[in-house]
Amino acid sequence: MFDILEVLFLYLVFPGFLFSAVVGLLSCWVDRKVTAKVQWRVGPPMLQPFIDIIKLLGKEVILPRGAYKFSFFFFPLLGLAGITLVSTMLWIFNVFPDKTFIGDLIVVLYLLMLPPLSLILAGFASKNPLATLGASREMKLMLSYELPFILAIFTIVAKSHSLLMGNMVTVQSTQGMYLLSASGIIAFIVALICIQAKLGFVPFDIADAEQEIAGGIIIEFSGALLAIYKLTKAIMLFVLPVFLITLFLGGINVFTLWGIAQFILKYVIILTLIVVIKNTNPRLRIDQALRFFWGKVTVLAVIAMVLALVGW
């Protein structure tokens, strides 16, 4: 077990908040740079995401008239704390598989729900009509993608016969990546699509649609609260691919240079897929997203689960 100082270091520095925020903001820069190139623009310099966060932290936080003060300030912090804890746990399970505990996958799945859920509650707390509309859309979107996402993850549970993430990493180190199986490929595709929705990226940026609802949920966020929202999203852009790597792509080996290089390559490939999907699709309406996730995506997830149960 870790002592209190080790826990604080793991959560606040590496692999927790500081490390995840730096890599996440760099990933945001890659996303913005590639998007700019696709649109024939120059794009921002590498340090621009960091500059944006620092600038926002120095600005005033404006509380909307009639807003619920505690909820408006608390829930963005809750989402940031939740995704930081997920990052810390994933790296611990990869580096120290023996530190796993019963039901850790369930805990991670619950914690991954905190960022969108906290954003929804903060949007309702602001009392802004556009933020309320955005929160309503995000709530519907969340209800639509969580079912196929959980089915895709439990496909790996069926293949590994375990709810321990450390065991999943250990099994893959000896038997190969789960992505190399038929059920693993289908489940990975489903999980990747659901992650696109969790990130709020096109074609699922329905809750923040600037052209329709002027930013939606985040319309009343300013100063440090807006910085927290951007940091949460940046860390999610790092943590969610790491989650896929842990479950589908053999985990992370940090004890050799080749293992580190493999992790970087896997992360870059997943990040590239996310950015490509973002830049090659139009935004869906919320009813289209619901039909898409509860229809085709859920069917694919069920097929993956059935294939896993029969040993494929």
Give the pLDDT confidence of 23-71 residue by residue, as tens digits: 999 999 999 999 998 888 998 999 999 999 999 998 988 888 888 889 8
pLDDT of 286 strictly over 60 = yes
The average pLDDT across 233-251 equals 94
C-beta neighbour count of 40 within 10 angstroms: 6
Residue 4: per-residue pLDDT: 81
**Cα–Cα distance measured from residue 220 to residue 181, given in angstroms and rounded to the nearest whole number:** 46
Judge whether 194 and 308 are in contact, CB under 8 Å. no
The runs of H, that is alpha helices, within 176-297 are 182-199, 210-213, 223-248, 257-279, 286-292
The average pLDDT across 268-281 equals 93
Q: How many residues does the chain have?
A: 312
**Cα–Cα distance measured from residue 32 to residue 227, given in angstroms and rounded to the nearest whole number:** 17
Q: What angle do CA 302, 308, 311 make, to 5 degrees?
A: 145
**Cα–Cα distance measured from residue 218 to residue 278, given in angstroms and rounded to the nearest whole number:** 20
**Cα–Cα distance measured from residue 214 to residue 206, given in angstroms and rounded to the nearest whole number:** 11
**Cα–Cα distance measured from residue 130 to residue 136, given in angstroms and rounded to the nearest whole number:** 10
Q: What angle do CA 105, 107, 113 make, to 5 degrees?
A: 105
The average pLDDT across 196-216 equals 84
Helix 165-175 vs helix 129-160: angle between axes, to the nearest 10 degrees?
50
Residue 1: per-residue pLDDT: 57
**What residue type is assigned to position 248 of the chain?**
F
Judge whether 165 and 101 are in contact, CB under 8 Å. no
Chain mean position to CA 183: 22
pLDDT of 211 strictly over 80 = no
HEC profile of 29-68: HHHHHHHHHHCCCCCCCCCHHHHHHHHHHCCCCCCCCCCC
Mean pLDDT of the chain: 91
- Domain containing 38 equals 4-309
SS3 103: coil
Judge whether 221 and 76 are in contact, CB under 8 Å. yes
Residue 307: per-residue pLDDT: 94
pLDDT of 231 strictly over 90 = yes
69 burial type by CB count under 10 A (0-12 exposed, 13-18 middle, 19+ buried)? exposed
User: How many domains is the chain partitioned into structurally?
Assistant: 1
